[in-house]
């Protein structure tokens, strides 16, 4: 393989989209060619940079989209397949080769057979799941099976059933569920909605601690912003300020840092001077730098450390 040919294959190689033979030929060449090995390393670095440029929509945008869709769905009627269409389409699979009239004939014949069989045959199927204790197989999962003698079998089933709960935010069980949902790592939208509800109850110590946790640790900026919103009345509380200071110095999102600086500079404390000077030393965002500078001036402090 020539170096030029090998390098044109790099992207597909890194995406795992080469055939077995192509991959094999490329790997053999890379093993033997220092220049191509170096070029592949550069290609990997390029891929890594492109990874970092991807945009993740904020949880807030996701939550807004979901809320809007929920509203709009209420006013939309899904189109339904008519009974004739259902019958016709249902039999298209089985009588695909037959002309239209035969399909109708086949359908009627099967209906009649089904009807008379049900009248004549012993009633052995209904209740089969009921006898086994299964309410809905779609929401059950067999976890373990074991023969227990005399032809009987014992089955352990995990059942999941959906329940709808409603109540006020003061309700402890509702609050507990929201606190759990606020930490669900798989669904940023669920977290943002939960934190949005919880932020109305910051007087509860448990809720406040969940909001502080979200502000410091949630990977999604939208969730962090919602949590900050709930902590606004506690901007003077020492524990809250300590957490906010950490967020100001470490958070990736300029929007979050902007909110935090606005909250922190509402109350001037001695320890703030050092923090603001540290922020001035490394902050890139013009708005945050301006707010820091103004707060330091109000506290008669220098914007720089000497």
Partner 1 sequence: MAQVAVRMDESELIRAAQRGDQRAFEQLVRLYDQNVLRLAMNLLRSPEDANDIYQEAFLRVYKNLHSFRFDCSFHTWLYRIVTNLCLDALRKRRVRREEDTVVETSEGFLDRMDTVEESRAHGDPQRQLLSRQLRGRIREVLDGLTPRERAVFEMRHYQGLRLRAIGDMLGTSEEAAKNCLFRATQKMRAALGDFV
- Rule CB under 8 A: is residue 62 a binding residue for partner 1? yes
Nearer to partner 1, 17 or 239 (CB): 17
d(CA 215, CA 204): 17
- Rule CB under 8 A: is residue 167 a binding residue for partner 1? yes
- Rule CB under 8 A: is residue 189 a binding residue for partner 1? yes
Residue that the structure tokens 């990977």 belong to: 219
Least distance in Å: CB of 248 to partner 1? Answer: 13
In terms of C-beta density within 10 A (0-12 exposed, 13-18 middle, 19 or more buried), how is residue 160 classed? Answer: exposed
Query: Are 125 and 131 contacting, i.e. CB atoms less than 8 angstroms apart?
Result: no
Q: Which stretch binds partner 1 (CB under 8 A): 61-69, 117-125, 150-158, 208-216?
A: 61-69
- Rule CB under 8 A: is residue 72 a binding residue for partner 1? yes
Residue that the structure tokens 């004739």 belong to: 84
Q: Which residue, 239, 290, 285, is CA-closest to 265?
A: 290
3-state secondary structure of 195: helix
3-state secondary structure of 97: coil
Least distance in Å: CB of 292 to partner 1? Answer: 14
Binding-site member from 35, 38, 45, 108 for partner 1 (CB under 8 A): 45
- Rule CB under 8 A: is residue 49 a binding residue for partner 1? yes
- Rule CB under 8 A: is residue 2 a binding residue for partner 1? no
In terms of C-beta density within 10 A (0-12 exposed, 13-18 middle, 19 or more buried), how is residue 22 classed? Answer: middle
- Rule CB under 8 A: is residue 200 a binding residue for partner 1? no
Which residues lie below 8 Å from residue 3, measured CB to CB, with a gap of 6+?
29, 33, 35, 36
Binding-site member from 117, 124, 161, 203 for partner 1 (CB under 8 A): 161
Least distance in Å: CB of 57 to partner 1? Answer: 5
The pair phi, psi for residue 111, each rounded to 5°, is -60, -45
Least distance in Å: CB of 154 to partner 1? Answer: 25
Binding-site member from 110, 134, 174, 303 for partner 1 (CB under 8 A): 174
In terms of C-beta density within 10 A (0-12 exposed, 13-18 middle, 19 or more buried), how is residue 88 classed? Answer: middle
Q: Which residue, 36, 42, 44, 50, is CA-closest to 1?
A: 36
Mark 114-133 with x for binding to partner 1 (rule: CB under 8 A) and - for no binding: --------------------
- Rule CB under 8 A: is residue 84 a binding residue for partner 1? no
Which residues lie below 8 Å from residue 107, measured CB to CB, with a gap of 6+?
87, 90, 91
Binding-site member from 117, 124, 162, 203 for partner 1 (CB under 8 A): 162
Nearer to partner 1, 42 or 297 (CB): 42
Nearer to partner 1, 123 or 164 (CB): 164
Binding residues for partner 1, rule: CB under 8 A, are 8, 11-12, 15, 17, 42-43, 45-47, 49-58, 61-62, 64-66, 68-70, 72-74, 76, 78-81, 89, 138-139, 160-167, 174, 177-178, 181, 187-190, 221, 250, 252-255, 282, 284, 286-287, 290
């Amino acid at each position: 393989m020539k170096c030029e040919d090998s390098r044109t294959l790099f992207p597909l190689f890194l995406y795992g989209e080469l055939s077995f033979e192509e991959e094999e030929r490329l790997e053999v060449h890379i093993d033997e060619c220092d220049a191509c090995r170096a070029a592949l390393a550069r290609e990997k670095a390029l891929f890594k940079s492109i990874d970092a440029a991807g945009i993740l929509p904020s949880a807030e945008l996701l939550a807004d989209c979901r809320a809007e869709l929920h509203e709009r769905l209420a006013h939309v009627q899904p189109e339904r397949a008519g009974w004739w269409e259902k019958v016709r389409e249902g039999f298209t699979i089985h009588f695909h080769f037959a002309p239209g009239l035969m399909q109708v004939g086949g359908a009627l014949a099967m209906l009649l057979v089904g009807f008379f069989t049900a009248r004549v045959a012993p009633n052995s199927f209904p209740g089969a799941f009921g006898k086994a204790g299964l309410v809905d197989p779609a929401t059950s999962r067999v976890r373990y099976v074991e023969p227990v003698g005399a032809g009987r079998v014992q089955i352990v089933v995990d059942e999941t059933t959906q329940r709808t709960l409603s109540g006020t935010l003061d309700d402890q069980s509702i609050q507990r569920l929201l606190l759990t949902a606020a930490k669900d790592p798989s669904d940023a939208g669920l977290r943002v909605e939960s934190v949005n509800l919880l932020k109305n109850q910051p007087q509860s110590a448990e809720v406040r601690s969940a909001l502080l946790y979200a502000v410091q640790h949630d990977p999604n900026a939208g969730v962090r912003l919602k949590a900050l919103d709930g902590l606004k009345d506690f901007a003077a509380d020492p524990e809250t300020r300590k957490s906010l200071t950490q967020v100001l110095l470490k958070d990736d999102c300029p929007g979050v840092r902007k909110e935090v600086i606005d909250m922190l500079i509402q109350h001037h404390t001695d320890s703030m001077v050092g923090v603001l000077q540290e922020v001035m030393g490394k902050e890139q965002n013009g708005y945050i730098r301006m707010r820091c500078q103004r707060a330091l001036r109000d506290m008669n402090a220098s914007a720089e450390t000497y």
